[in-house]
Amino acid sequence: MHDAVLPVQSASCLILKTKGMLFVKSLKKRWLKSIFVYALGIAIVAGCGNGGQTSQSANNQGDASPAKTAEPVTLKIAIVDGWFTDEQFQAYFANPVKAKYPNITLELVPYIYSESSKDNTALTNMTNLVAKGVIPDIIATSSLTASDLINLGLENDMDSLIKKHNLDLNSFEKGIIDAVKVASSDGKKITMLPYERNFSALFYNKDIFDKFGVSYPPDGMTWDEAAELAKKVTRKDGGTQYRGLEPNLVFRAASALSLGFVDPATKKAIVNNDGWKRVFTTLKSIYDIPGNSEFQASGKAVTAFSKDKTLAMFVGLGGDMEKLGMTKDLNWDMATYPSFEKNKLISFNFDAHALAVTSGSKHKDEAFQVIASLISKETQTLLAQNGNLPVIKDDSMIKAFGSKLSYLQGKHVEAIFKTTPATPPQATIYDADAKTIMNLAMQSVVNGEIDVNTALRQSEEKVNQLVQK
């Protein structure tokens, strides 16, 4: 609506409607006769009507009219390296945007979260990019890892853009807008919009279960039930040690209980409590299974499962599913994410992959239109067909999920949709480092270096020290 451009001849006129009668007041020629003014007014209204039709055609995914200016605009969009291949970037981002807004060109700026974990030395993190004067117009991030926006002063309240471009927030999946709100500095404003969300599942190697004559994992298992099943497939056979279950990173399991790291009000650590103790104790019981004690979280779990084929089950994410699908001669499937309570299928909390218009962008309207194009039904369907979980409410998206991926044919993808993401706690700028502290503490417990109580007490001290710094 805001983008409709009125004809030049109407720019100097103000149209007033009073009690059904139309009066046109010329801003320059007050001497015009009333009959001429009336006729001119009718002509102008007819001319302006075309613009009104354009604005009314905007759907609930935002204003579909062209950018405010047709001048060529190049927008820098920063995306975490590895999130998309070049082909996927063109399919999901560049091509849809170019089709709708020919004047907008996207310049991809890959970045990494941590300098310590990078493989490509040519890449750097957002802090260093900004220090070099590279200010993206759009940053692709996650509702769980959005602290860069706050720390670097790039956070931008998008409420005015949402209203200006007529975006209907009710079109989004229930709970996901709240998830991006809690990722903001005050936990209330919308500083990013989701375009897909991560998901979790229990992946299992069918060949290992067949080898030992054990039934496949059913949906709806609790962590305790998954541990009992893991005992049946944790065996040493022919000199090869098979592990039953890798529960993966501890903060993911904790997120299913909506556990946070730092109280945003008091700025005190909240990691030494009954909730965190329950998570540590539960995961420790799994690692305590004889033969299952090796700590193989994250990438190590995927390698043990898909390459070594010595891991019967592991709790993973959507990105892990893609890696499994790309592996030849791997007989796998999935079940629901283990829950802490029976009959309460709660998975790890909302991990919304989102796009933020930065405070430093000089083309905020155009940047917002780029984001709106990704949450259109057309692009959301394309994402779903290629195994990405869409964020808009539409049953057809569920039916379309994975339809273009041969490796998902015959797989139990229904498991993904049976669980409900937990409500995320209020995010803080300390969360990323606090997650590392908790993961290292869990590893120390698994290695027998410290007990659970000591691990939580030391973690509390370290997180408080982190805040004080």
Examine the pLDDT at 272 and tell me if it is beyond 60.
yes
Question: 281 or 114, which is more confident?
Answer: 281
Mean pLDDT across 183-201: 94
What's the farthest any 2 CA atoms get from each other in the chain?
102
Question: 387 or 118, which is more confident?
Answer: 387
Mean pLDDT across 170-177: 94
- The pLDDT-based confidence of 148 (bands split at 50, 70, 90) is confident
pLDDT at 121: 54
**CA–CA separation, 99 and 96 (whole Å):** 5
pLDDT at 113: 74
pLDDT at 41: 37
Mean pLDDT across 407-420: 95
Which of 51-65, 119-133, 149-163, 398-412 shows the lowest mean pLDDT across its residues?
Answer: 51-65
Backbone angles phi, psi at 186, to 5 degrees: -110, 0
Examine the pLDDT at 102 and tell me if it is beyond 70.
yes
Examine the pLDDT at 196 and tell me if it is beyond 50.
yes
3-state secondary structure of 340: coil
Strands 193-197 and 235-237: unpaired
Q: What Cα–Cα distance (Å) separates residue 421 from each residue in 23, 50, 174, 339?
A: 56, 45, 10, 11
pLDDT at 82: 86
374: nearest Cα among 35, 138, 135? 138
Question: 41 or 88, which is more confident?
Answer: 88
pLDDT at 319: 87
Mean pLDDT across 444-456: 97
pLDDT at 328: 87
Q: What is the CA radius of gyration of the chain?
A: 27
Backbone angles phi, psi at 44, to 5 degrees: -70, -40
- The pLDDT-based confidence of 391 (bands split at 50, 70, 90) is very high
**Displacement of CA 355 from its chain's centroid (Å):** 9
What pLDDT, in 10s, does the model give residues 328-386?
899 999 999 999 999 889 998 888 999 999 999 999 999 999 999 999 999 999 999 99
Residues forming beta bridges with residue 339, ordered by sequence position? 222
Averaged pLDDT score across all residues of the chain? 85
**CA–CA separation, 26 and 120 (whole Å):** 64
CB 435 within 8 A of CB 251: yes
Examine the pLDDT at 215 and tell me if it is beyond 90.
yes
- pLDDT above 70 covers a percentage of the chain that reads 83
Which of 51-65, 129-143, 276-290 shows the lowest mean pLDDT across its residues?
Answer: 51-65
What pLDDT, in 10s, does the model give residues 104-144?
999 999 998 764 444 545 688 999 999 999 999 999 998 88
Q: pTM for this one?
A: 0.81
Which of 17-21, 74-78, 428-432 shows the lowest mean pLDDT across its residues?
Answer: 17-21
Q: Which amino acid is at 153?
A: G
Q: Which amino acid is at 200?
A: S
3-state secondary structure of 148: helix
Which of 40-44, 270-274, 304-308, 463-467 shows the lowest mean pLDDT across its residues?
Answer: 40-44
**CA–CA separation, 314 and 126 (whole Å):** 31
pLDDT at 39: 36
CB 200 within 8 A of CB 337: yes
DSSP per-residue codes, 181-240: HTTSSSSSS---EEEEE--EEEEEEHHHHHHTT-PPPPTT-BHHHHHHHHHHH-EEETTE
